[in-house]
Amino acid sequence: MFRTALRNVLAHKARLLMTMLAVLLGVAFVVGTLVFTDTVGNAYKERFLTTLSDVSVQATPPYDEKTGERGTVDGDTLRRLQRLPGVASVTGSVEGVAAVAAKDGHPLGDDRVTAGGNYFPQADGEDTRHPLTAGRAPTGPDEVALDTATADQGGYRVGDTVRLAVDGPVLHKKLVGVVRTDDTHGSGATLALFDDATAQKLFLKPGRYDGVTLQADRGTSETELAAEARHVLPEDSDISTGAQLRERQRTEAAEGTRGLSQVLLAFAAIALFVGVFVIGNTFTMLVSQRSREMALMRAVGAERRQVTRSVLVEAGLLGLCAGAAGFLLGIGVAMGIRQLFASTGSGLPDGPLVISPGTVLISFLVGVVVTMLAAYVPARRAAAVPPVAAMSAIHTPPPVRGLRRRNAIGVALIAIGVLGVVFTASSGEQGRTIVLLPSALLLIGIIVVTPALSGPAVDLAGPLLRRFGVPGTLAPRNARRNPRRTASTASALMIGLSLVTGLTVVAVSATASLHERAEHSVTADFEISSKNSGHLPPSVHRTLAKSPAVTSSSPRRQGAVRIGGDEVTLTGVDPRTIGDLLDPSFVSGSFAALGSGGGKSLLIDTSLADSYGWATGQRVPVVYDDGVRGSLEIGGVYHDDEYLPSTMMPLATLQPHLKETEDASVLVRTKSGDGDTARYSLQRTLDQNPVIQVRNTDDLAEAAGGEAITLLLNVLYGLLAMAVVIAVLGVVNTLAMSVFERTHEIGMLRAVGLQPEQTKRMIRLESVLISLFGALLGIGAGIFLGWAAGELAADSIQGYEMVIPWGRIAVALVGAALVGVVAGLWPARRAARLDILTALKAD
């Protein structure tokens, strides 16, 4: 039996190649994921070993309970730590935000990660955290060092003057050094370093540090040193040994990569699931073509079981080859995934590829098991061929069973799936994880009834295709000939497309609702804020208010007050202009309240009103930050919204009680709207300060999640592409098999005058038809699942309304048609090139 199976594999090389590709790609995906995960995990481990190798103890002073400010360590403490026995070196760190502009003026780094700090020279004049690659350490108030990436991107060289900003006006510092950094912020981050005094002045207070790291002498353990340091450091400082830090970072990294690995493996599983259809289909076709051969085996005495086993062994051999090839390709895929993540700036570390023995084993196991599983049903069917079929002159494929039972099961699955999805979708929060189960049932149900659907669906296309003449008449009829085959080919495509569509619906709807709400709530043209969150100097508003380009403006200035026992942040706005700039949906009251009542009024959002039980007209006693008591009248309640502050009150009332005058943001309306011209003019007004961002409502929506959603969606598209590619292979496979089976027929058609182009067109149309059928099913299911997912997400995304992305659906359909054309190219060419006489003689 084994020899027969081996011979068969070899005899059908070309036809099995496609099948092998389907398994191979799935295996490659799995292997790629595993190798990638191992590699990233290893790289993390390596990096933490190097970054923290010279840290024996790290200490962060506690937050000041009263002021809520971060704790600091003074220079004295540092000196005392230095004198402790067993200390090799002490490093005091100062950290903050410093935005750097490139030479041409545009801000560097992405919106969040723009770090600043101190260069802390040790006895040898070097800071071990930041090894210099060029120039020297910054030593004076006008000097700065940048990391290599920032210097490169900004086009700066040692000796140039760098434009940067912390929270005030633009600073000009001379670049004296370039350093390497192992910072975990990843690509896209910038780092600017100053000498101690400058860093302390910019980020903290003179003579103060955010934290310290100690390096132990040889012979002193980290624990001993930590115990010693505890006596010197402020009480309740967070003290960790290097070993603890490394362990913590390692577990965090491991969790991070595990999560990523699970997501990737889920997509690999989807690809393999699609692969099962392709394999199953191929084996069904191979077996039916060889039914005479199988019958002969049975006739000469092979048992049913032996025939089944011979087909399964054949599948196993194929799976083994596919596993081996998939393993090799998987290593390539791993490199590809790494490249993909590197290009999206996720800041994963780099390192040598790690291929564990487990991965090798899994690749073969997955290849063999998946292939044999998919071949099981066809193998059983092969054995069902009666031995007498060997004697009959006419080619008899195994009997095709009716679809009735199959349809009943499918309809039942769909019904359960739909009901389940609708039910869980309406049950809110708890439904989130459960919804996956009925969704899967629904998809499987659709797959089960697809053969029955294929007939009517193909008939619908009939009239449209008739304009293509005889090829157009024959294509749909050919597609109808074997509903099971057409269906499983289309199903493979359906799975990928339903997921693509579902995800697109949710993502597009969520993004649209973000934009819609930003547009609705913020009527200002721009919001000006600092990357150094909440620290916009009041001069920014003064400058803007004076600018001729600005027609109205208001700061959003925050101050903490105590109400009852709680601390609440109040936001002061300009009552005269705020109505031009924000448009909350008021449940009760209005902006007019801010102008009346002697300025002692307060507007609050619904979530605050709900949690305190406040209503319009109520008076609320407050204790300001400076200890002064007062009372405010609730002048209105509006729907909460991430684009709006949770409270609004007249700035003039809040201002006298504030310790520091800083704005969270400034809202402006301009003469020329919210376009790029207006933006540029505002940036010019603000001296092109790199720490200040000027954002219109679209930018706000993108920052509020739109950007992240788009990025995520693109990554998911990339992952699903694998499933779609496998499905396309399935279409190619099915058509190639069909052409082979219809050799005689094609020969006859050519004999009676069908031109080669017409023959090609007939095959291509069939291919397009199958592809579009799969795509339509997938898109339909995807929209439904997208709707359900949206219902579940609606709780966490305000104002979520389903948007059906017709444009993208049209693109998907055109794409599916193209896929059909491409998948049909090779089989069509084969069909057109058949030698008529040979084809007519074929049996």
Partner 1 sequence: MHPHQPLSAPEPHAAHATDLTKVYGTGDTRVVALDAVTVGFGKGRFTAIMGPSGSGKSTLMHCMAGLDSPSFGSVRLGDTEIASLNDRQLTRLRRDRVGFVFQAFNLLPTLNALENITLPMDIAGRKPERAWLESVIQTVGLADRLGHRPAQLSGGQQQRVAVARALAGRPDIVFADEPTGNLDSRSGAEILEFLRGSASALGQTVVMVTHDPVAASYADRVVFLADGRVVDELHTPTAEAVLERMGRLTPAHA
Chain positions 416 to 455 lying near partner 1, rule: CB under 8 A, are: none
Among 329, 414, 461, 474, binds partner 1 (CB under 8 A): 474
Residue in 24, 754, 789, 823 binding partner 1, rule: CB under 8 A: 754
- Give DSSP secondary structure letters for 318-380: HHHHHHHHHHHHHHHHHHHHHHHHHHTT-----------HHHHHHHHHHHHHHHHHHHHHHHH
Indicate the residue among 623 and 842 with the shorter CB distance to partner 1.
842
Q: Which is nearer to partner 1, 719 or 832 (CB)?
A: 832
Between 70 and 484, CB nearer to partner 1: 484
Query: Based on CB atoms, which residue is closest to partner 1, 731 or 832?
Result: 832
Among 749, 768, 781, 828, binds partner 1 (CB under 8 A): 749
- How near is the Cβ of 744 to partner 1 at its closest, in Å? 5
Q: Where are the alpha helices (DSSP H) in 752-843?
A: 756-793, 806-833, 836-841
Q: Report the alpha-carbon angle 554-555-560, nearest 5.
A: 135
For residue 388, the 8-state DSSP code is: G
Q: Any idea which residue has 């599916």 for tokens?
A: 816
Among residues 350 and 757, whose Cβ is nearest to partner 1?
A: 757
Q: Say if strands 208-209 and 73-74 run parallel, antiparallel, or are unpaired.
A: antiparallel
Residue 480 vs 531, nearer CB to partner 1: 480
In the complex, minimum distance from the CB of residue 286 to partner 1, in angstroms, rounded to a whole number: 21
Least CB distance to partner 1 at residue 402 (A) = 17
What number of chain residues touch partner 1 (CB under 8 A)?
A: 23
Give whichever of 91 and 758 is closer to partner 1, judged by the CB atom: 758
Residue 289 lies near partner 1 (rule: CB under 8 A): no
Q: Which residues of 570-599 are buried (b: 16+ CB within 10 A; e: fewer)?
A: bbbbbbebbbbbbbbebeebebebbeeeee
Contact flags string 659-688 toward partner 1, x per CB under 8 A: ------------------------------
Residue 783 C-beta: closest distance to partner 1, Å? 33
Local structure of 134: helix, strand or coil: strand
How many Cβ atoms are within 10 Å of 607's Cβ, its own excluded? 12
For partner 1, give the closer residue by CB, 20 or 475.
475
797-836 footprint of partner 1 as x/- string (CB under 8 A): ---------------------------------------x
Helices (H) and strands (E) in the chain, counts: 27, 24
Of the pair 711, 836, the CB lying nearest partner 1 is at: 836
Between residues 480 and 556, which has the closer beta carbon with respect to partner 1?
480
Binder of partner 1 out of 17, 409, 748, 825 (CB under 8 A): 748
The 8-class DSSP code of residue 266 comes to: H
- Least separation, in Å, of the C-beta of 816 and partner 1? 24
- Angle in degrees, CA 448, 454, 457, rounded to 5: 135
Examine residue 470 and tell whether it contacts partner 1 (CB under 8 A): yes
Query: What's the per-residue H, E or C state across 417-472?
Result: HHHHHHHHHHCHHHHHHHCHHHHHHHHHHHHHHHHHHHHHHHHHHHHHHHHHCHHH
Q: How far is the CB of 458 from partner 1 (least distance, A)?
A: 11
- At residue 231, the 3 state secondary structure works out as helix
Q: Is 576 in the site for partner 1 (CB under 8 A)?
A: no
Could you say which of 481, 542, 619, 659 contacts partner 1 (CB under 8 A)? 481
Closer residue to partner 1 (CB): 163 or 480:
480
CA 291 to CA 660: how far, in whole Å? 87
The closest alpha carbon to 690, from 76, 257, 56, 170, belongs to 170
Find the shortest distance in angstroms from Cβ 820 to partner 1: 19
Q: Which string of x and - marks every residue 143-162 that binds partner 1 (by CB under 8 A)? A: --------------------
Residues 6+ apart with CB under 8 A from 116: 95, 96, 97, 98, 166, 191, 192, 193, 194, 199, 202, 203
- Residue 468 or 612: the one with the smaller Cβ distance to partner 1 is 468
At 119, is the secondary structure helix, strand, or coil? strand
Among the listed ranges 49-57, 424-432, 478-486, 582-590, the one in contact with partner 1 (CB under 8 A) is 478-486
- Examine residue 8 and tell whether it contacts partner 1 (CB under 8 A): no
Stretch that binds partner 1, among 148-156, 675-683, 753-761, 801-809 (CB under 8 A): 753-761
- Residue closer to partner 1, measured from CB, 719 or 754: 754
77, 284, 450, 478: which one contacts partner 1 (CB under 8 A)?
478
Residue 737 C-beta: closest distance to partner 1, Å: 17
From the number of C-beta atoms within 10 Å of its C-beta (0-12, 13-18, 19+), residue 795 rates as exposed
DSSP 690: T
Is residue 571 within 8 Å of residue 649, measured between CB atoms? yes
Q: How many residues does the chain have?
A: 843
**By CB under 8 A, residue 838 contacts partner 1:** no
Nearer to partner 1, 123 or 393 (CB): 393
Please name the residues in contact with 656: beta carbons below 8 A apart, sequence gap of 6 or more. Answer: none
The site string for partner 1 over 715-744 (x = CB under 8 A, - otherwise) reads: -----------------------------x
> 563 to each of 64, 611, 798, how far by Cα in Å?
21, 13, 28
| Nearest distance, CB of residue 399 and partner 1, angstroms | 14
Contacts of range 713-720, beta carbons closer than 8 Å, 24 or more positions apart:
713/503, 713/504, 713/507, 715/340, 715/344, 716/267, 716/503, 717/500, 718/340, 719/263, 719/264, 719/267, 720/267, 720/270, 720/496, 720/499, 720/500
Contacts 24+ apart (CB under 8 A), 63-68: 68/560
Cα separations in angstroms, 22 against 16, 36, 373, 731, 733: 10, 21, 14, 11, 10
Minimal distance in Å, beta carbon 840 to partner 1? 7
The minimum distance between CB 470 and partner 1, in angstroms, equals 5
The torsion region of residue 36 among left (phi > 0), alpha (psi -120 to 50) and beta comes to alpha
User: Using CB under 8 A, which of 745, 804, 825, 829 touches partner 1?
Assistant: 745
What distance in Å separates the CA atoms of residue 568 and residue 563, rounded to the nearest whole number?
A: 7
- Which DSSP letter does residue 401 get? P
343, 753, 806, 807: which one binds partner 1 (CB under 8 A) = 753
Nearer to partner 1, 14 or 752 (CB): 752
Q: What's the min distance (Å) between Cβ of 449 and partner 1?
A: 23
438 or 472: CB nearest partner 1: 472
Residues 756-785 interacting with partner 1 (rule: CB under 8 A): 756, 758
Is position 750 an interface residue for partner 1 (rule: CB under 8 A)? yes
840 near partner 1, rule: CB under 8 A: yes
Q: How far is the CB of 474 from partner 1 (least distance, A)?
A: 6
- Distance in angstroms (rounded) separating the CA atoms of residues 626 and 614: 24
Among 405, 613, 752, 807, binds partner 1 (CB under 8 A): 752
- Return the number of the residue (255 or 757) whose C-beta is nearest partner 1: 757
Q: In 3D, which of 538, 559, 551 has the Cα closest to residue 581?
A: 551
Measured from the Cβ of residue 13, the count of other Cβ atoms closer than 10 Å reads: 9
Determine the distance from the C-alpha atom of residue 379 to the mean position of all C-alpha atoms in its chain, rounded to a whole number. Answer: 41
Report in angstroms how near the CB of residue 282 gets to partner 1 at its nearest: 23
Q: For binding to partner 1 (CB under 8 A), which residues are involved?
A: 469-470, 473-474, 477-478, 480-481, 744-745, 748-756, 758, 836-837, 840
